[in-house]
Amino acid sequence: MTHDITTLSAAALADALVARDVSSVEATQAHLDRIAAVDGDVHAFLHVNQNAIAAAKAIDSRRAAGDDLGPLAGVPIAVKDVLCTQDMPTTSGSKILEGWVPPYDATPVAKLRRAGLVPLGKTNMDEFAMGSSTEFSAYGPTHNPWDLDRIPGGSGGGSAAAVAAFEAPLALGSDTGGSIRQPGAVTGTVGVKPTYGGVSRYGAIALASSLDQIGPVSRTVLDAALLHDVIGGHDPKDSTSLRQEWPSFAAAARDGLQADSLKGVRIGVVKELAGGDGFQAGVTQRFQETVALLESAGAVVVEIDAPSFAYAISAYYLILPAEASSNLAKFDSVRFGLRVTPDNGATVEDVMAATREAGFGPEVKRRIILGTYALSAGYYDAYYGSAQKVRTLVQRDFTAAFEQVDLLISPSAPTTAFKIGERIDDPLAMYLNDLTTIPANLAGVPGMSIPNGLAPEDSLPTGVQLMAPQREDARLYRVGAALERLLEQQWGAPLISRIPNLDAAQQSAAEEGVI
Amino acid sequence: MAKDALMDFDEAIERFEPVLGFEVHVELATATKMFSDAPNFFGGEPNTNVTPVDLGLPGSLPVVNEQAVRYSIQLGLALGCSIAESSRFARKNYFYPDNPKNYQISQFDEPIAFEGEVEVELADGTIFQVPIERAHMEEDAGKLTHVGGATGRIQGAEYSLVDYNRAGVPLVEIVTKPIVGAKERAPELGAAYVQVIRDLVRALGVSEARMERGNLRCDANISLRPWGQEKLGTRTETKNVNSFRAVERAIRYEIQRQAAILAAGGTITQETRHWHEDTGRTSAGRPKSDADDYRYFPEPDLLPVVPDPALIEELRASLPEAPVARRRRLKGEWGFADLEFQDVLNGGLLDEVQATIDAGAGPQAARKWWTGEISRVANAQDAAPGDLVSPQHVAEVIALVESGDLTDRLARQVLEGVIAGEGSPAQVVESRGLKVVSDLTAAVDEALAGQPDVLQKIRDGKVQAAGAIIGSVMKAMKGQADAARVRELVLERAQQQ
């Protein structure tokens, strides 16, 4: 019975809560039970909220008292550990912040609490969101619920795996170069990177300020839209947050389910992101099938040339480390976090150096060094300056493309989930996994990943990415919901229903004496 | 500390041309900090006026203080600068524990104000135009206290404490271009320039501008070059020279020190230097080179500052008169002699004198009281004259003297009472029993009028004749008067009748 609750979509669970078929305490307990049962294998959570049941009780009381509650009130949610939570430790996956409890909530967290959602805990991630596999977490990797030997994507592998493994119906992620969308693709879940400035970054531990964006992780497009409605909007504490009224994304998703909603929608296939070197055959195959499916539903598909996209990844790996090297300078032991004092005559510089040496993992150090170099006098123009020019060109390519089409489409990631350990020593191979997602971050446009099948060669999920012009996030939800329904009609059931039964896996492992 | 070799100042100027440059930091008197809503109040319990932003906590983000932008525009306009249509913040990256994020948010290649000029008038009326390169906004750092060492410096300290109350206090940094042509007047010009900046920010009301409190901080760049050489010499930057007099002395010292080194065939090390008020010397700080790499890049957490052109025009229209022009005008209006006006300026009493005149006092009386008695008391109490008594009260005292209700001697007593916090001049007259003077004056005048022959004798210098008048006054007052005071008054009134 409890597992039935955990397999509900957030929208369906919200309906059940409104109808009082289930209480928030029951829903929360069911997910806590599920976490207890499977998270030993998945390791999606770094911290489980001890106050979750109390928060759920409070919502149930308010509902009983007839309070006017938001549409997702009482629904549990997992929160990526990059977001500050004043009642739970916030580490951003790093040893340097082990045990740090912020004195404030990040704005998206504060908003979801106000909307009555129940935080279940904090999810695992690559340290400071640097990575595409969650293997760079200082607290051990997260395992893909489709195949525990494989990575769940990154950096938000914890949030995606938690949602895929039914440990939470919803999660928050952060996306700097694909950290919501690529994990979505490899775990068969939905992930959205909103327009830059659509969701406040206040309280999100910065990786690269000009690229970071907080967004929803879910199993359905409508669920992502419902969550986006909760967390979006202007925040005076974030100067880069957009001052505008946003339409209801849930309404847009429901609108997409109207008959013929895809008719006449112009969709551009980005030539540079559609396949070729580095793309797994099964990924390309499923992508082409999805494009054909959209065409059959009345969409007009054209090929789009975006020549600068070829340089996007190079520009990204200069801009990101440059900003990160500065953003991460504050981790120096003086005011918070880890402090390591060397034995011999420690000056403050010695303490800072020893702390950073001990507290940061290899990928973080790699990027700090890269970024420091890229910003150095004499190299600034050649590296950071050139990268910013490429960024402008990428933005122009998007602008030109959106003069021709309503949406762009590409695979969400070039491959399905790879094996844990397979690319850990090959940063370049790891970086290439973000090839398809990075352009949207450079241009600030919104992007969404939707599951579009299993690759024939490995039976692992593949994802398709939709991208819309800035501020047109609603378009993603409208078309995304329509596409999701077309795919499910083909499959006869949501893709996630084909995920292996982790209970069974656990059972057999127990029989083998592994646990 | 080994003593530096110094060249005689006149000889130094004969051989080398001094070139000056100033970086003046002005703390803006906004209600909240540059990028957070913490109170802009330095002092109090350490680390209480802070938010997550001021502590650089993970996830926190800066938001630009609009009032600070307005103040900066006003200051830029008053410096004769152009205001940038769009200016941008940048990050200046360096690790130091008083710098909470280990980067300072400042403006780098796109300052809010640029290319200006300030008129500076020396004591003898000589006018210099000081070229301004830029004025830009930035945030202040926290304050370190080094504990356990003998000197309070970081060397030898056991540990250091940091107070972030000052972290994020809004600053405008005003940077001049190289200032040439001052020759032997370079030290004097330096002090006068900083004073003009002080007067200007006070007139604008954008800063308290108290140098002794660090609201206004001056770094002085000094270099020498042989006369006729175009290339600028290597400069030193003397930090935190925090009084006008110190600016003058530090420049003079550096000119003499550098000249001695250059004349001996040595080279000047590009470095920061510290000014020591007690010894009147500078000492070497940290070497500084143009290669210092702060890895500046545009601050991605903030949007460019794009002020509304209408706001700029509004602020331009409401600019107060430039300090030099104002001085020139007031000197003429008040009819002061050069030395009289210089007294007022040297005492920093221009505002006080003007306010006192505005309150009804005559210019000479206002000048006399402020530069005389009030300055004397202030000096004795080690206080600023303006903090002791208000111009309104000074004007009241002057009015009482002019109406004959107080003698100069009594007026000083009244002032003493006002300074002691006993109330307004009227209240002090009342409470100290000085009020009888008014009645007394009437009685004296009556007695004098009643005995015109005696009056004439007194006027003729027969002072002993006053006894008759004193007697009748004492009788009229029923003995309730001080005979000595009555005598004084009789003599005074006799001359005035």
Quick check: is A255 in a domain?
Answer: yes
Q: What pLDDT does A2 receive? A: 46
At A296-317, the pLDDT tens digits run 999 999 999 999 999 999 999 9
Of the candidates A179, A218, A412, A449, the residue annotated as catalytic is: A179
Render pLDDT for B344-402 as a digit per residue (tens, 0 to 9): 988 889 989 999 999 999 999 999 999 999 999 998 988 888 889 999 999 999 998 88
Helix axes A249-256, A473-491, angle to 10 degrees: 40
Q: What is the mean pLDDT of residues A326-331?
A: 98
Q: Which helix (H) or strand (E) holds B160?
A: strand B159-163
Confidence of residue B338 (pLDDT cuts 50, 70, 90): confident
pLDDT digits (tens, 9 = 90+) for A482-493: 999 999 999 999
Query: Is A330 domain-assigned?
Result: no
Check if the beta carbon of residue A306 is closer than 8 Å to that of residue A397. Answer: yes
Q: Which of A24, A80, A94, A449 is catalytic?
A: A80
**Contact criterion met (CB < 8 Å) for A203 and B60:** yes
* A403 lies in some domain: yes
Chain center to CA of A76: 17
Which residue is catalytic, options A23, A24, A137, A155? Answer: A155
Q: What is the mean pLDDT of residues B471-484?
A: 75
Q: Report the sign of the C-alpha dihedral through residues A431, A432, A437, A439, in that order.
A: positive
**Three-state helix/strand/coil letters over B90-127:** EEEECCCCCCCCCEEEEECCCCCEEEEEEEEECCCCCE
User: Do A143 and A42 touch, CB atoms closer than 8 A?
Assistant: yes
What is residue B466's predicted lDDT score, i.e. its pLDDT? Answer: 83
Cis peptide leading into A155, omega within 30 of 0? yes
pLDDT digits (tens, 9 = 90+) for A77-132: 999 999 999 999 999 999 999 999 999 999 999 999 999 999 999 999 999 999 99
Residue among A205, A210, A372 minimizing CB distance to B300 = A210
What is the 8-class DSSP label of residue A104?
A: S
- Residue A505 clears pLDDT 70, i.e. is over it: no
> Considering only B180-189, B316-325, B378-387, B400-409, which range has the smallest mean pLDDT?
B400-409
The CA distance from B424 to the nearest CA of chain A, in Å, is: 48
SS percent in chain B: helix, strand, coil, step 5: 40, 20, 40
Mean pLDDT computed over B408-436: 85
Count of the separate structural domains present in chain A: 1
> What is the extent of the structural domain holding A252?
2-309+392-511
Average pLDDT over residues A169-193: 98
Residue B142 identity (one-letter amino acid) = G
Residues whose CB falls within 8 Å of the CB of residue B252, separated by 6 or more in sequence, listed in order: B9, B187
Is residue A392 scored above 70 in pLDDT? Answer: yes
A80 is catalytic: yes
Cross-chain Cβ contact B95/A332 below 8 Å = yes
CB contact under 8 A, A205 and B162: no
Q: Is A97 on the interface with B (CB under 8 A)?
A: yes
Contacts of A444 in chain B (CB under 8 A): none
CATH number at residue A507: 3.90.1300.10
Q: Which residue of B has its CA nearest to A82?
A: B59
Is A343 inside a domain boundary? Answer: no
Partner residue facing A237 (CB), from B58, B63, B297: B63
Give the pLDDT of residue A47. 98
Closest CA to B336 of B316, B353, B315: B353
Residue B487's pLDDT is: 83
Q: What is the pLDDT of residues B183-216, one digit of tens each?
A: 999 999 999 999 999 999 998 999 999 888 889 9
**ipTM for the complex?**
0.95
* In chain B, ranges of CATH 1.10.10.410 domains: 437-496
The string of DSSP letters for A251-272 reads: HHHHHHTSTTTTTT-EEEEEGG
Quick one: DSSP state of residue B152? S
Is residue A345 included in any domain, yes or no?
A: no
Task: List the structure tokens of A180.
Answer: 């919501």
Q: What mean pLDDT comes out for the span A422-451?
A: 93
Is beta strand B216-226 parallel, antiparallel or unpaired with respect to B170-176?
unpaired
In chain B, the residue whose alpha carbon lies closest to the alpha carbon of A372 is B295
Contact A229, A250 (CB under 8 A): yes
For the question of residue A155 being annotated catalytic, the response is yes
Out of A203, A323, A348, closest to residue B300 by CB: A323
| pLDDT given at position B497 | 59
Contact pairs from chain A to chain B, CB under 8 Å: 101
| Residue in A95, A91, A71 with CA at minimum distance from that of residue A80 | A91
**The one-letter amino acid at B399:** A
Interface residues from chain B to A (CB-CB < 8 Å): 52, 55-64, 91, 93, 95, 97, 100-103, 160, 162, 291, 293, 295-297, 300-303
Give percent of chain A above pLDDT 90. 91
State the pLDDT confidence band at B1, using cuts at 50, 70 and 90: low
Is B52 a residue whose pLDDT tops 80?
A: yes
- Can you give the pLDDT at residue B382? 84
A45: in domain: yes
- Indicate the pLDDT class of residue A1, thresholds 50, 70 and 90: very low
Non-local (6+) Cβ contacts of A53 within 8 A are A25, A28, A29, A32
- Measure CB to CB from residue A97 to each of B58, B60, B100 and give the nearest one: B58
3-state DSSP assignment of residue B476:
helix
Q: Which CATH architecture has domain B437-496?
A: Orthogonal Bundle (1.10)
The predicted pLDDT at position B307 comes to 97
Hey, are the CB atoms on A375 and B56 less than 8 Å from each other? no
A195 within some domain: yes
Distance from CA of A482 to the nearest CA of B (A): 36
Q: Is the pLDDT at A210 greater than 70, yes or no?
A: yes
Q: What is the 3-state secondary structure (H, E, C) of A187-222?
A: HCCEEEECCCCCECCCCECCCCCCCCEEEEEECCHH
The whole-chain average pLDDT of chain B stands at 91
In a domain, A363, yes or no: no
Pick from A325, A330, A348: which is nearest to B58 by CB? A330
Residues in B closer than 8 angstroms to A237, CB to CB, are 61, 63
Residue B319 distance to chain A (closest CA, Å): 30
pLDDT at A513 over 80: no
